[in-house]
Amino acid sequence: MAEDKAKAQQKAAATEEAALPAQTGPDLGDLKFVSDVPVKLHVELGQATLSIGELMGCGAGSVITLDKRIGEPFLITLNGRPVAEGEVVEDGANLGIRITNVLHGNDITA
């Protein structure tokens, strides 16, 4: 009798589980679920190597020449990963970056 009761409980539990919708993770093909996640966008205008003496000699009005030339594209990284290239533009009172090339798989060298 106890055996029959246990089998009936198991059968009822299995029926309940079958009635519940399967729980699955997010559809990775549709990335809308991450559209509000903040990421860090970084644009490097260039680099310069100075001695400590040269740096100490800098003051207001000093110009440090960078390794980028005017018109050369800037690398745009997203959370440290290169994703695009762009050019600096004026956006009202701020600087902006116009995306000129989106990098894909083989284009990414960094």
Closest CA to 39 of 78, 75, 74: 78
Please check whether residue 91 lies inside any domain of the structure: yes
Q: What is the pTM of this model?
A: 0.55
User: Which range marks the domain in which residue 97 is found?
Assistant: 26-107
Name the token pair of 94. 């701020």
Report d(CA 17, CA 5) in Å as an integer: 18
Please check whether residue 50 lies inside any domain of the structure: yes
What is the reported pLDDT for 17? 47
Evaluate the CA torsion angle 41, 48, 55, 94 in order and state its sign. Answer: negative
What CATH number did the domain enclosing 60 receive? 2.30.330.10
pLDDT per position as a tens digit, 42-84: 888 889 999 999 999 999 999 999 998 888 888 999 888 999 9
Name the token pair of 102. 């989106």
Total number of domains in the chain:
1
The mean of the pLDDT values for the chain is: 78
Please check whether residue 40 lies inside any domain of the structure: yes
Residue-wise over 88-108: b if at least 16 C-beta within 10 A, else e? eeeeeeeeebeeeeebeeeee
Please check whether residue 30 lies inside any domain of the structure: yes
The predicted model gives 28-50 an average pLDDT of 83
Q: Tokens 């509000």 appear where?
A: 36
Please check whether residue 103 lies inside any domain of the structure: yes
Please check whether residue 9 lies inside any domain of the structure: no
Please check whether residue 79 lies inside any domain of the structure: yes
Please check whether residue 11 lies inside any domain of the structure: no
